[in-house]
Amino acid sequence: MDEQKTNNNSEVTKQGEVKPQQKFKPKHRYHKVQHTEKQASTPIPKQEYFLSIIIPAYNEAESFKELYEKIRTAITPLNCKYEIIIVDDGSTDNTIKVLKEIRAHDNRVKIISFRRNYGKSAALSVGFEKAKGDIIITMDADLQDDPSEIPNLINELQKGKDMVSGWKKKRFDPITKTIPSKFFNFVTSKLTGIPLHDFNCGLKAYRKEVIKEIELYGELHRYIPVLANWKGFSVGEIVVQHHPRKYGKTKFGFGRFWKGFLDLLTILFTTRYLQRPLHLFGFWGLIFALAGFIIDGYLVIEWFLGLTALSQRPLFLAGVLLIIIGVQFISIGLIGEMITKTRETRKEYSIKEIIK
Ligand code: UDP
Ligand code: MG
């Protein structure tokens, strides 16, 4: 099979599957989560699972009838029990009316309606909380994600992955969205060491253990694979079909880029340093302060030997500045440590199994 290298650690086949990650190890020093085939949970028996499909929707009335039919066509052959949870994220159009019509003749359709628009992460989060399935699929409501991919995603889970993300390899979005998105995916993949091409694909599949462990807030839905990976779950990827938006328009404006960037910082910081902020700030604080001391120490010796007057050396100010920045960083780190110690302790680990 034709294969391409994504990075040193893993390979992606032509279908976009991340192959067994013998060395699915991020490059940076602090993140030691190993990803091996062994680590994935036990296989889910075919057809014996309960499937939950979660769809966040904000003003998507036109899409729903078609979407519902397509989902049913796609999952009926799976012959499994299922529920479709639609989270109406404070829609102001006819979404809720259309959903109630669908629900009237299919009680496997569950509707959760927000009082106002809280955002996609909140919608997914409540969907995760309410889902009863062993396997959970998320997808967008706008028909851009193709329900016919659901069996393929489940198939990939059954091979042993804990979570599988779609990769919109051939994407039907405006170039103003696709290019920044490529850049984002590249940077995220490099910084986190997770060899995915499309972190923010709406179409994803999870084992229930994964969604019960992930805390989503703000707009962190963009980085679910990073959060899952950090907890120690194995993450895979398959190429999925994508379609242009048929009705309505995108709900995320230009703000998605700067918000996405800030969220990346949040994710990097909270996954690695939340419990030990001094390791980040203290490290840089020490480097800055040390550089400042060396520069100023050298200049002071020169001045002492009568070689130069400090007022003649602007570099002296740079040294002072570095020392101040260094001390500030260390102080921020220490304050961070104090906050970490005093706040309510959250579960920091994820247990796969307990054998008694
Ligand atoms: N969405 C939501 N709440 C929001 C914004 C979006 O529930 O505040 C839903 C939206 O209805 C769609 C999915 O999230 O089902 C993805 O949104 P969109 O298609 O606008 O994003 P894009 O495809 O442009 O990334
Ligand atoms: Mg869309």
How many domains does the chain divide into? Answer: 2
Question: Which range, of 73-87, 143-157, 308-322, 342-356, averages the lowest pLDDT?
Answer: 342-356
Task: Report angle CA 26, 27, 32 to the nearest 5 degrees.
Answer: 50
Nearest ligand to residue 86 Cα: 1
57 lines ligand 1 (CB under 6 A): yes
Region 315-320: what's the mean pLDDT?
Answer: 96
Q: Is 342's pLDDT higher than 60? A: yes
Nearest ligand to residue 222 Cα: 1
CA proximity to 264, closest of 210, 298, 220 = 220
Which residue, judged by its Cα, is nearest atom 23 of ligand 1? 250
Which contacts (CB < 8 Å, 24+ apart) does range 249-257 have?
Answer: 250/177, 251/58, 251/59, 251/120, 257/180, 257/184
Which residue, judged by its Cα, is nearest atom 8 of ligand 1? 119
- Look at residue 308 in the predicted model and tell me its pLDDT: 84
User: Exposed, middle or buried, 116 (CB in 10 Å: 0-12/13-18/19+)?
Assistant: exposed
Token pair, residue 256, equals 């998605």
- Look at residue 149 in the predicted model and tell me its pLDDT: 97
Same domain, 58 and 202: yes
Token pair, residue 254, equals 């230009």
Instruction: Give residue 48's pLDDT band: very low, low, confident or very high (50, 70, 90).
Output: confident
Domain end among 257, 273, 289: 273
Q: What is the pTM of this model?
A: 0.82
Q: Which domain holds residue 315?
A: 277-342
Q: Within a domain: residue 4?
A: no
pLDDT digits (tens, 9 = 90+) for 57-83: 999 999 999 999 999 999 999 999 999
**Residue 334, number of CB atoms within 10 A of its CB:** 15
List of residues 6+ apart from 56 with CB closer than 8 A = 87, 89, 120, 123, 124, 127, 138, 140, 141
Q: Is 299's pLDDT higher than 80? A: yes
CA proximity to 88, closest of 121, 108, 115, 62 = 115
Same domain, 301 and 220: no
Q: Within a domain: residue 72?
A: yes
**Residue 95, number of CB atoms within 10 A of its CB:** 24
pLDDT digits (tens, 9 = 90+) for 92-125: 999 999 999 999 999 999 999 999 999 999 999 9
